[in-house]
Structure 1
């Protein structure tokens, strides 16, 4: 892995490995750290081998001290924005970022911009399975509400900012 590559390591609340893949460090701005994945980036899940390779360019935003991450996908992806409600991203070193997936996903469709919250049933189930503390439940719920409002309003960083970073990864 060269210095510009970053391992994205997403875990479940019990510490088990969830999704993991490498991305290129693109840069930083007032919203956080941006990483990019060109077409063909391989995603793996848990201890399984590769699950799929991307068909579109993608960029991820890792905000500072927020309980979410955001994935922005180029066409032809069905979803324009896919936000994972997570614990705040933690940088183990410049080449690895990790966070705990808290199940809730806030998504915006590319056609028409419909916004929805996904995996609420999984969030409810995992509150029991993993014994989420009440403060984690409250932070996850409030983050999902905040994200839904921001995506619906098309507020930055969910408006045009992602286009700069998508162009950056597409040019590599």
Structure 2
């Protein structure tokens, strides 16, 4: 049986396509979808009208019941986390779709967490006329995500890094050599 390819689509609040890229399904439950983004995949950034070639593979965790995503980018010199604050991801006929609410939480290779794109969040509140409940919800989700990270709660409890050993090209032995 072949690998199932899923198209990930990030859209803006008005439904316009923001970015899309292909991934491979690793696991799916009624709560989340876990995919693998291959090294060299194309990311079409519709907002910027550009296509990027991803220079690192990634594990991508999409929550179906909460408003965030977690990407673990597998860079040659370390792992970087990138979390989107969004509306809950939805399964589509060809993959997943989520509404990006601009706020992002990233962890660099030095393990320092930073909130980014707060200016974009403020600007898009005006551009897309976010309702007050969306603004407050995004801020609550950001704080809840920061709390999960601090407590090392799922999926920040080693769940994603355990999957690395299931990917032959990214086993710990290969990453340490």
Q: TM-score, normalising length from structure 1?
A: 0.87
Q: Does 1:54 align with 2:54?
A: yes
The number of residue pairs the alignment matches comes to 169
Correspondence for 2:28? 28
Instruction: Tell me, yes or no, if the aligned pair for 1:38 and 1:169 is still in contact at 8 Å.
Output: no
| Structure 1 residue 103, shift from structure 2 partner | 0.3
Judging changes above 3 Å, is the alpha-carbon distance between structure 1 residues 18 and 79 closer, same or farther for their aligned structure 2 residues? farther
Q: Does 1:160 align with 2:158?
A: yes
Judging changes above 3 Å, is the alpha-carbon distance between structure 1 residues 105 and 47 closer, same or farther for their aligned structure 2 residues? closer
Q: Is the partner of 1:110 in helix, strand or coil? A: coil
Q: Deviations over 1:40-61 (max 9, x none)?
A: 1111111777622222220111
Q: Which runs of 4+ in 1 moved over 6 A?
A: none
Of the three residues 142, 145, 165, the one matched with 1:144 is: 142
| Structure 1 residue 64, shift from structure 2 partner | 2.4
| Residue segments in structure 2 that go unaligned for 5+ positions in a row | 171-177
Correspondence for 2:174? none
Larger mean CA deviation between 58-67 and 78-87 belongs to 78-87
Cα RMSD after superposing both structures: 2.4
Greater relative CO, 1 or 2 (CA 8 Å, sep 6+):
1
How is 1:10-159 mapped onto 2 (pairs within 5 angstroms)?
10-28=10-28, 32-46=32-46, 51-76=51-76, 80-93=80-93, 95-111=94-110, 113-159=111-157
Q: Deviations over 1:18-62 (max 9, x none)?
A: 110010000135862101012111111117776222222201111
Judging changes above 3 Å, is the alpha-carbon distance between structure 1 residues 50 and 3 closer, same or farther for their aligned structure 2 residues? farther
Q: Is the partner of 2:92 in helix, strand or coil? A: strand
Q: Deviations over 1:73-114 (max 9, x none)?
A: 113377621100111101122x32101110000111121x11
Larger mean CA deviation between 118-127 and 23-32 belongs to 23-32
Larger Rg: 2
